[in-house]
Amino acid sequence: MQDLGRPSRGDALRWVSRTATEMNKLKMGFERWIGDEFVGWYNRRHMTRFVYCARPDRAPDIEYRDGDATLLVETTEVHYNPLSAHLLWGHLRADPRAPTEWSSPGAIDHLFSDSVKRRVEDKCAKLYPASTVLVLYHYSVFFTRSRMAEHVSRTEVPVQHPFRAIYFTASLPRSTTEDGGYECWQLASVEA
């Protein structure tokens, strides 16, 4: 007799498959949003007209085109720590194991700096086409524009990396003294 309170192996596998497919679509949509926000900023800054072209089967994540010019974009998120990532993505996936609260430890600046460093190092250790731009994204609930700029100014990028350029982008909160919104900083470039 089957325990009605526990799903069968087949039900569990179907749930995992459906959840993985939904999560993959959610992740791909979020990566596309990160890329589109960055390319909008890039176009305004460089007076270009790059538009979404394709999502390649292999890295990097997204391809944009402006006439014959191609801009390949690899995106990645930066969280305060793994628990804050699980809080956000766990709830988006409707994962019952996702934490319902997260309190920031006193060393939030140190945790964040370490997280940025790890993401940059992880991505720089992989191979990408030479024309790829790396875009790190962070949704900030703690750091205003000026505080984020301090973190960005201290970010170390390996001298040897596979990217044409590396950018750090963030959605920032508004404070009583600073506007919030989207911001982008260039961390490294091999462009002339």
Q: What is the pLDDT of residues 118-177, one digit of tens each?
A: 999 999 999 999 889 999 999 887 788 898 899 889 898 998 899 999 999 998 888 888
pLDDT value, residue 130: 85
Is residue 9 a part of any domain in this protein?
A: no
**Rounded to whole angstroms, how far apart are CA atoms 182 and 96?**
31
Is residue 129 a part of any domain in this protein?
A: yes
Is residue 62 a part of any domain in this protein?
A: yes
**Rounded to whole angstroms, how far apart are CA atoms 174 and 186?**
22
**Rounded to whole angstroms, how far apart are CA atoms 15 and 30?**
22
pLDDT value, residue 29: 86
Is residue 150 a part of any domain in this protein?
A: yes
Query: What's 156's DSSP letter?
Result: -
pLDDT tens sequence across 82-124: 666 666 666 566 777 776 766 665 677 778 888 899 999 999 9
Q: Which residue is listed with tokens 């926000």?
A: 37
pLDDT value, residue 18: 56
Is residue 14 a part of any domain in this protein?
A: no
Mean predicted lDDT score pLDDT of the chain: 82
Q: Distance from CA of residue 41 to its chain's centroid?
A: 16
Token pair recorded at residue 90: 């766990």
pLDDT value, residue 167: 96
**What is the reported pTM?**
0.80
Is residue 123 a part of any domain in this protein?
A: yes
Number of other residues whose CB lies within 10 A of the CB of residue 87:
18
Q: Which residue is listed with tokens 């390319």?
A: 39
Domain of 76? 30-189
Is residue 3 a part of any domain in this protein?
A: no
pLDDT value, residue 97: 73
**Rounded to whole angstroms, how far apart are CA atoms 136 and 24?**
19
For residues 16-38, average pLDDT: 77
The model's confidence at residue 3, banded by pLDDT at 50, 70 and 90, is very low
Is residue 6 a part of any domain in this protein?
A: no
Do the bridges between strand 132-139 and strand 181-189 make them parallel or antiparallel, or are there none, so unpaired?
unpaired
Contact 118, 81 (CB under 8 A): no
Instruction: Indicate the number of domains in the chain.
Output: 1
